[in-house]
Amino acid sequence: MNFKRVIFILAMLGLFMGSVFAQTNGNKRVNSSYGNWSIGAGINVVDDSGTEGNNFFNTKENWNVSNPYLVSVEYYFDNQWSIVASGSINKYVSGKNIDSTGVIVKGFAADYFAVDLATRFSFGDMFSTYNFDFYVFLGFGYNKIGGYKLDPFKVERPVDIDVIPDEINEFPVDRNGFYDISEVGKMTVNGGLGFNYWFAETWGLNFNFTGKVGVPSGEFKFGPNSVSNQAQFSLGLIYFLKKNNNLD
């Protein structure tokens, strides 16, 4: 899938819808006319390169985008606080950097699945930004990454054998010298930020960035696909559910 093309299409759709509904203010605030729920659907990108913010937008080497779908549902307690649940799927694809350890071997893409729950705080009321609704959030989740093979980066070994990490030999290696990375599921602690752009009373665009920190479970293991951190971006459409058709 051409991710840049999808972003362009969604952006153009948002601008078109915004011009169509230019006379309508996007309020998206809890009141007697609206309900407390919104639903969303879109696409996502997973960065599991372990670069810790370096080469943040190195899409060619670090961004995994294949069947990258996401759905969400959000409940608004009031105009500032809400809780959102989301589910996403993707694939770790060949040639991508994983944990700065190696790249995925062609023909061994790994399925990615995640479910996340978070509490959001919106700044809309504080700055009267009724079309742009900026927020931050904190929560937790669970993700599962399928098994794959990793072609390790070639690194020069230290001369002093005492400083070679013991963990470097813990990866199972096949006859071609590729690391065999097993399927694993793990909990994550999540945090991030994003915004909604409401181009109509009930329709909007959402951009979301999530940082996911892996939580050790059972015996801690060093290396890719064990307890790694990830970054996930998503872009999609959201729809605010009406309580009734009689708007004040």
CATH number, domain with residue 101? 2.40.160.20
Q: Which domain holds residue 46?
A: 3-242
Mean pLDDT, all residues of the chain = 77
Q: Annotate 204-238 with b (16+ C-beta within 10 A) or e (fewer).
A: bbbbbebbbebeeeeeeeebbbbbbbbbbbbbbbb
Q: Between 44 and 155, where is the model more confident?
A: 44
Q: How far from 96 is each of 1, 216, 232, CA to CA, in Å? A: 15, 24, 15
pLDDT at 224: 54
Is 248 a domain residue?
no
Q: Is the pLDDT of residue 60 over 70?
A: yes
pLDDT band at 52 (very low <50, low <70, confident <90, very high): low
- Apex CA 173: angle with CA 167 and CA 179, to 5°? 80
What pLDDT score was predicted for residue 248? 42
Does residue 51 fall inside a structural domain? Answer: yes
In a domain, 92, yes or no: yes
Q: Using 50, 70 and 90 to split pLDDT, how confident is the model at 118?
A: very high
CA–CA dist 63, 57 (Å, integer): 8
CA pair distance 90, 48, nearest whole angstrom: 12
How many domains in the chain?
Answer: 1
Hey, what are 178's tokens? 């590729």
Most confident of 4-8, 51-55, 168-172, 215-219: 51-55
The predicted pLDDT at position 53 comes to: 61
pLDDT at 26 over 80: no
- d(C-alpha 69, C-alpha 128), whole Å: 32
Residue 247 lies in a domain: no
Determine, yes or no, domain membership for 230: yes
pTM assigned to the model: 0.77
Residue 187 lies in a domain: yes
107 occurs within a structural domain: yes
148-163, pLDDT tens digit by residue?
A: 988 888 755 444 444 4
Which residues are 180's β-sheet partners? 149
